[in-house]
Structure 1
């Protein structure tokens, strides 16, 4: 991807309110933060040597993240790039180049006020941006890549995070008999028993699984955690645990039944839910509109090799945020009928008439 294309694509995904008094700080702090991550990757490489097997992947990704913020700031000041600069003649080692990048980002920070004014760049600022890109190009060379490759990966990653939640959920079981498919539109009842901290789930009047409690010394609502399995089924098209509750395992294909619907996949799903649950406490993502991309990356690493690995970061984000929205509503109401529509990718909680 050439520099001009990347600049256009990066501009499409900018959510910064430049008019806000702290708008420019988002871009500047973003670049500083990603530079810190780059330094951390470099430190780990020096400390762990060949044991750090993902160095190239992580180092190039951090270069791409810094590149995005630098190009976004340049675009704000009407600085455009036709091609990526060459780093020929630069003789810095990887450490000196990283320290030089720190100096350049610091100088960009000194131009913070200019980010409030569109088209405010003079030749000095233009040269600073070009030198910053040249330095990033130099760093990319240490992992035998260039900015065109890194820019392409950065755009794909960014667009995968800012996706479209109105698209239907995946249907990984479409080639299987209907009785081995997850339903696309269904309702689940959550109903408390005499003990308000004990809940049952029902579908079509039939109880699913055992009675649910928090399994905790405190009332933290974990008895409603099956919401996350249901959200996975409806918004990702994936939940080995919920599939087992529905007795919809794909037994017509023994390998798929063993791998995708088996115990190991179910354990991974439970591990993901517990990991996200710990991340979400204590407010359970109330008021949060974006999920930390690092969290989503960890989740994606856990599902490598499984069908759900095809889901994009935005799909995981949508599933997590919607699952927790319903979870918070259930914690307050204690009961409800959860309506799931995988075609519209929606979850809706209605009051339960029998509460």
Structure 2
């Protein structure tokens, strides 16, 4: 039986179908709440009685059927179909939990249509060297093929917190998502897609770079509240949704929330290692969509 067929037949049994009456709208909502409580009661009894409660499976099925009826009724009274709801829910959950790391699962390649000199390298190594400013402030120098990223970076904070290593986040975005307007414009990569003025303007331009930096600051701020994701295997939906809002008009919006989550978790796993031993080499791999860190002996 198709979901819409069930919905049509279930609605034919509705005893309060006049949507002009408040009772028609509220009855299924209250019924849904009540039957959800009944489901909890069934599980409570099963926890208490165990296998002796032989009617558990049958009663659970009955309650789930009631819940489905109420969901169907609420949907109908809001001009929604169960099939549309189910389809949208699968799209949402797939976007959230798709953690695919390769082309075979549809991860986008934003450089595919561009010449080699306008593509991120498939494999890259960035050297990390600790240093200090003349005033004694801790800093870090990064270089790629002998070319520095720029001036040595500090935390730009009263108390050192490791933000000087935040280019790791951008490198993780490149490795996992094939995206980082900040790094496209840097001398060491220098792979802005100038053969397409529109792409160069919108995707690789200043506004996109600002969003890239904003996301780096955003995830760092969130990580500070969560032990920098040490021992954590997920990122909050709220953070991922906010990233989605910031990047909604950019090509990277094609990446799933799950892929963003993997990029963030991998970035902080590497970041924590670099903080502990800031002398080594960051290795990014677009094929495996990972970034690793190898410390100097």
TM-score, normalised relative to structure 2: 0.84
Q: Determine if contact 1:189/1:352 at 8 Å carries over to the other structure.
A: no
Q: Which runs of 4+ in 1 moved over 4 A?
A: 82-85, 115-120
Match of 2:38 among 91, 107, 112: 107
Deviation of 1:86 after TM superposition, in Å, equals 1.8
Is structure 2 residue 206 aligned with structure 1 residue 268? Answer: no
Q: 1:179 to 1:102 in 2, by over 3 A?
A: same
Q: Determine if contact 1:322/1:347 at 8 Å carries over to the other structure.
A: yes
Is structure 2 residue 174 aligned with structure 1 residue 233? Answer: yes
Deviation of 1:294 after TM superposition, in Å, equals 3.0
Deviation of 1:141 after TM superposition, in Å, equals 2.3
Per the alignment, residue 154 of structure 2 pairs with 213
State the SS of the aligned residue for 1:315.
helix
Rounded Cα–Cα distance in structure 1 between residues aligned with 2:24 and 2:244: 34
Is structure 2 residue 124 aligned with structure 1 residue 179? Answer: no
Rounded Cα–Cα distance in structure 1 between residues aligned with 2:234 and 2:273: 19
Deviation of 1:161 after TM superposition, in Å, equals 2.8
Which segments of 5 or more consecutive residues in structure 1 lack a partner in the other structure? 4-81
Deviation of 1:188 after TM superposition, in Å, equals 0.8
Deviation of 1:90 after TM superposition, in Å, equals 4.7
Is structure 2 residue 192 aligned with structure 1 residue 244? Answer: no
State the SS of the aligned residue for 1:151.
helix
Per the alignment, residue 278 of structure 2 pairs with 334
Match of 1:149 among 79, 84, 96: 84
Q: Determine if contact 2:192/2:204 at 8 Å carries over to the other structure.
A: yes
Match of 2:141 among 179, 200, 206: 200
Deviation of 1:249 after TM superposition, in Å, equals 1.0
Per the alignment, residue 253 of structure 1 pairs with 196
Decide which moves more: 113-122 or 153-162.
113-122
Q: Determine if contact 1:284/1:324 at 8 Å carries over to the other structure.
A: yes
Per the alignment, residue 86 of structure 1 pairs with 10
Which segments of 5 or more consecutive residues in structure 2 lack a partner in the other structure? 17-22
Is structure 2 residue 66 aligned with structure 1 residue 125? Answer: no
Rounded Cα–Cα distance in structure 2 between residues aligned with 1:2 and 1:276: 42
Q: Determine if contact 1:87/1:135 at 8 Å carries over to the other structure.
A: no
Q: Determine if contact 2:110/2:251 at 8 Å carries over to the other structure.
A: yes
Q: Determine if contact 2:137/2:154 at 8 Å carries over to the other structure.
A: no
Q: 1:212 to 1:101 in 2, by over 3 A?
A: same
Superposed CA deviations along residues 5-46 of structure 1, whole A, max 9, x for unmatched, are: xxxxxxxxxxxxxxxxxxxxxxxxxxxxxxxxxxxxxxxxxx
Deviation of 1:247 after TM superposition, in Å, equals 1.9
TM-score, normalised relative to structure 1: 0.71
Q: 1:170 to 1:148 in 2, by over 3 A?
A: closer
Rounded Cα–Cα distance in structure 2 between residues aligned with 1:196 and 1:101: 60
Superposed CA deviations along residues 34-69 of structure 1, whole A, max 9, x for unmatched, are: xxxxxxxxxxxxxxxxxxxxxxxxxxxxxxxxxxxx
Per the alignment, residue 287 of structure 2 pairs with 343
Larger Rg over CA atoms: 2
Q: Determine if contact 1:165/1:345 at 8 Å carries over to the other structure.
A: no
